[in-house]
């Protein structure tokens, strides 16, 4: 299980589509990722593991996206969430 957190902020130098300046109270969003490795082979087992994560460890997170990672010997689910 690996967790990473990073801050995403809107640059004050950029301008919105309307052409005006951004207000000073634009929120700074903290975003993190949580990777949960597994060695499951069948799609049904993978879906069961994801369901267990969503109803368990990942339940309190404000999840933005979930993706399946299968690169080389790395297999598992990665969730991106807002803190």
Q: Which residue has the tokens 């689910």?
A: 77
Give the domain ranges of the chain: 30-83
Residues 16-71 have pLDDT tens digits of 556 666 677 777 788 999 999 999 999 999 999 999 999 999 999 999 999 999 99
Between CA 67 and CA 53 the distance in angstroms is 13
Between CA 61 and CA 4 the distance in angstroms is 13
- pLDDT (0 to 100) of residue 83: 79
- pLDDT (0 to 100) of residue 50: 96
pLDDT higher at 8 or 70: 70
The token pair at 40 is 């499951």
Specify the pTM.
0.67
């Amino acid at each position: 299980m690996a967790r990473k957190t990073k801050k995403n902020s809107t640059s004050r130098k950029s301008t919105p589509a309307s052409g005006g300046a951004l207000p000073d109270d634009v929120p700074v969003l903290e975003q993190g990722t949580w990777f949960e490795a597994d060695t499951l082979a069948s799609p049904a087992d993978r879906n069961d593991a994801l369901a267990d994560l969503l109803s368990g460890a990942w339940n309190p997170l404000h999840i933005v996206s979930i993706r399946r990672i299968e690169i080389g010997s790395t297999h598992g689910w990665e969730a991106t969430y807002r803190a």
